[in-house]
Structure 1
Amino acid sequence: MSKIVKRTLDFFELFERTRRPLSLSGVARELDLPASSCHDVLRTLVEHGFVYQPGERGEYYPTQRLGLLAAEIARNDPFLLRVRTDLRDLSARHGRSCFLARIDGKTARYVLVVEAYGPWRYHIEEGAEVRHPHATSAGKALLGQLTPEVRAAVIAALPMPVLTPQTIQTREDLAADIEMSRARGWYLNKEESVRTAMTISVPLHWNAEDYILTMAGPGVSDDAEINAIAADLAAAARRLEAPR
């Protein structure tokens, strides 16, 4: 790493660690560097608006400029491009369709759809709202991200049409299913919304927003296979959440 780049990063990490203004001599002492070297870096950071002197004692502290720049960079991160790549890999590996929905309060909408190749289709359109929270894994994941109080109120008012013989039919059973799913980290719809179809969903958090990753395909009776699919989907979510 360039010495200049490393030294600049050391400065910001020092302020993060100490969380207080520092004098030139204090910076030099903490970083074990000559005061002249520290002065050159601090002067440059002041000139570019990244550091200022908040009082009359000649001490230095970072401005909000670095945080604002970082936030703007994060807001424009090509997140959906990364998600599409991962979902294509998942779809090819499992032969199942994959979806990403963004949560907005008590609702969620699909923002990315990757359909599987082959004769089996579970069709979702981008922009469509997640429906039937009591009978779909994405809907259950949406309920699982609500606070307990809000979730209880939503479930109490939720229409619960019976879509298949496997559809959850009581609010008590739905609440129990959500709690169990939250504990294990993923949500299952096993022929509850469409006969012969299974979907698995996991929550994903990125840049202060909540999303739902879903994989859909034909039903599976083997619990070990279901667990393997869920684990692969959860691992993809954790990779996408990690800083790049």
Structure 2
Amino acid sequence: MAESETGDKAGQASVKTALRVIEIMEIYAREGRSLTLTELAKLLGAPMSSCLGLIRTLASLGYLYETGRRQGYYPTSRLLNIAQRISRNDPLLERVQPVLETLRDATGETVIFGKLQDDGRVLYLEVRESQNPVRYTATPGELRDVHINSIGRAILGAMTDAARDAALAKVSFQPRTGRTVASREALEREIAMWQQQGWYPNFGESFPDLGAIAVPVEIGGAVYGMSVAGPIHRVESSVDPIVAALLRGQDALRT
């Protein structure tokens, strides 16, 4: 076997192992309980032998602990502590977070800050959830289709024509609801209108009951998006004050 082929296979195995570790942590977040090796292997869709090796490694590194003899494993707080240290030292989020909190308090709705990835999807970087019992819930790290997401639309609107053409070439325009924009041509017409008004809506196009309004934000030469999202009836009835609050936040991040 050629040396390059051996290296490629080793690299693929390393990537697969890394993905498995992330999947294990996501399973714990979803299940919210101690899990036995058998349960983990089933939820992971992996052989028991592979799962055992991963669990033993994570336990030896202090990321999992055995909750009782043969009762299963659960994550320690080590991963949380690492994530908190990373978050505290993020210069972008340190700048953005106070603005998001002010915007959340002013509108009473959930506020999201995100960017467009190279694969054409919107990545949520930070979220400040509404304190209203009935609210839109999101978490950092979630991914959304660019053409039916208010943040994605705001970023598309701030792009050059060439960059927007490249981004829209990756979109399939599959309908999500009865309101979903049906074609690239229709979206481009709407983007031209939204550029004139300065804000970008999503009223029931990604989820039937969700309303969201976003504006683009340029920081350090990169374009991000900031949105206010909530139940569609509340957002549609409060467009003017929400837009005003978003524009204040946009101005605050420009300075």
Structure-2-length-normalised TM-score: 0.58
User: How far apart are residue 147 of structure 1 and its match?
Assistant: 1.8
Q: 1:160 aligns with which of 158, 173, 178?
A: 173
Secondary structure in structure 1 of the residue aligned to 2:155: helix
Q: 2:240 aligns with which of 217, 227, 230?
A: 227
Largest Rg, 1 or 2: 1
User: How far apart are residue 202 of structure 1 and its match?
Assistant: 0.6
Distance in 2 between residues matched to 1:164 and 1:202, nearest whole Å: 23
* 1:107/1:142 contact within 8 Å kept: no
Q: Is 1:114 aligned to 2:131, yes or no?
A: no
Q: Is 1:134 aligned to 2:140, yes or no?
A: no
* AA partner of residue 186 (structure 2): D
* 1:188/1:200 contact within 8 Å kept: yes
* 1:191/1:198 contact within 8 Å kept: yes
Secondary structure in structure 2 of the residue aligned to 1:159: coil
Cα 1:237–1:151 change in 2 (3 A) is same
Distance in 1 between residues matched to 2:169 and 2:226, nearest whole Å: 25
Question: Residues 38-187 of structure 1 correspond to what in structure 2 (within 5 A)?
Answer: 78-104=91-117, 106-129=120-143, 131-187=144-200
**Where in structure 2 are there 5+ consecutive unaligned residues?**
1-88
Cα 1:120–1:107 change in 2 (3 A) is same
User: How far apart are residue 210 of structure 1 and its match?
Assistant: 1.7
Secondary structure in structure 2 of the residue aligned to 1:124: coil
Cα 1:194–1:108 change in 2 (3 A) is closer
Residues 170-202 of structure 1, C-alpha deviation per residue, up to 9 Å, x if partnerless? Answer: 221101111111222111001111112111111
Residues 65-92 of structure 1, C-alpha deviation per residue, up to 9 Å, x if partnerless? Answer: xxxxxxxxxxx89442342122112212
* 1:220/1:226 contact within 8 Å kept: no
Partner of residue 68, structure 1 = none
Q: Is 1:191 aligned to 2:204, yes or no?
A: yes
Cα 1:177–1:215 change in 2 (3 A) is same
Residues 72-115 of structure 1, C-alpha deviation per residue, up to 9 Å, x if partnerless? Answer: xxxx8944234212211221222210011134555542211111
**Where in structure 1 are there 5+ consecutive unaligned residues?**
1-75
Cα 1:83–1:154 change in 2 (3 A) is closer
User: How far apart are residue 223 of structure 1 and its match?
Assistant: 6.5
Taking every aligned residue pair, what percent have the same amino acid on both sides?
31
Distance in 2 between residues matched to 1:80 and 1:149, nearest whole Å: 29
Cα RMSD for the two superposed structures: 2.4
Secondary structure in structure 1 of the residue aligned to 2:252: helix
* 1:95/1:116 contact within 8 Å kept: yes
Distance in 2 between residues matched to 1:77 and 1:116, nearest whole Å: 23
* 1:96/1:215 contact within 8 Å kept: yes
User: How far apart are residue 126 of structure 1 and its match?
Assistant: 1.0
Secondary structure in structure 2 of the residue aligned to 1:194: coil
* 2:121/2:146 contact within 8 Å kept: no
* AA partner of residue 191 (structure 2): I
Secondary structure in structure 2 of the residue aligned to 1:217: strand
* AA partner of residue 152 (structure 2): G
Structure-1-length-normalised TM-score: 0.61
The total of aligned residue pairs comes to 166
Distance in 2 between residues matched to 1:167 and 1:207, nearest whole Å: 33
Distance in 2 between residues matched to 1:156 and 1:221, nearest whole Å: 33
Greater helix fraction, Structure 1 or Structure 2: 2
